[in-house]
Amino acid sequence: MNTPRPLALLGGTFDPVHFGHLRAAWEAAEQLDAEVHLLPANVPPHRPQPAVDAAGRVELLRLALAGQERLRLDTRELQRAGPSYTVDTLYELRAEIGPQRPLVLLLGMDAFAALASWNRWLQLFELAHIAVMDRPGPAPAFPAELQAQVAARRAGLDGDWRGHGAGRVLFLDVTALEISATAVRGQLAAGLSPRYLVPDAVLGEIQRRGWYRGGSGAGD
């Protein structure tokens, strides 16, 4: 029987989506030979609430993803009220795709380092593999309980993870792009333009809607 193609998920606040997200997701799709879904959080847990509401962040994602088929949008978390816990989303997806198809949760290094604080975090390993993507900046320390999971579950890209639905931890080497949504919002609030940090269509829509603006407006 053929091994089913992995389904990989990049969850995020995407406030707004930028080239750091898009390039990392693209390279993960190629390295894992996976279908990749971008999954905007309705109510992101563990952080201040976004500057733009979920519908607006989805609109920007649609513009960013237009014209290609490899990265797709999954808006399922918008259907749930309350904090968008990833474990609930993975249970839902696992029920849809069955036990065998590899499901891969994509996380930037910063998000992975905080994994032990997530809701029912150990259940994540029962539901999906986790692929950690490097992110520029000082390498964050892993708490001991996360280190123990990595030691028990670490697998190479060429290893046997494709033969399992869940449970391995992989590390992906992706092009380091030092872009964050915080920096993009900061530029807009200061009246500067984040051109070339976000897709043109995303920047155009942000400017048209007047989102993330401080006193002086975006600068181009």
Ligand X SMILES: Nc1ncnc2c1ncn2[C@@H]1O[C@H](COP(=O)(O)OP(=O)(O)OP(=O)(O)O)[C@@H](O)[C@H]1O
Ligand Y SMILES: O=C(O)c1ccc[n+]([C@@H]2O[C@H](COP(=O)([O-])O)[C@@H](O)[C@H]2O)c1
CB of 191 to ligand X, least distance (A): 19
Instruction: Please identify the residue of the shown chain whose CB is closest to the bound ligand X.
Output: 108
User: Is position 180 an interface residue for ligand Y (rule: CB under 6 A)?
Assistant: no
Please tell me the distance from the alpha carbon of residue 18 to that of residue 186, in angstroms, as a whole number. 13
Which residues in the 93-112 window bind ligand X by CB under 6 A? Answer: 107-108, 110-111
Please tell me the distance from the alpha carbon of residue 188 to that of residue 194, in angstroms, as a whole number. 7
Kindly provide the b/e burial profile for residues 107-136, where b requires at least 16 CB atoms within 10 angstroms of the residue's own CB: bbbebbbebbebeebeebbebbbbbbbebe
Can you read off the two tokens belonging to residue 30?
A: 């190629």
Residue 125 interacting entry, from ligand Y, ligand X, none, C-beta within 5 to 8 Å by type: none
Please tell me the distance from the alpha carbon of residue 35 to that of residue 6, in angstroms, as a whole number. 6
User: Is position 14 an interface residue for ligand X (rule: CB under 6 A)?
Assistant: yes
Among 179, 202, 203, 206, binds ligand X (CB under 6 A): 179
Of the two residues 29 and 111, which places its CB atom closer to ligand Y in the complex? Answer: 111
User: Is position 122 an interface residue for ligand Y (rule: CB under 6 A)?
Assistant: no
Contact string 22-41 vs ligand X (x = CB under 6 A):
--x-----------------
Among 32, 133, 202, 218, binds ligand X (CB under 6 A): 133
Please tell me the distance from the alpha carbon of residue 169 to that of residue 210, in angstroms, as a whole number. 41
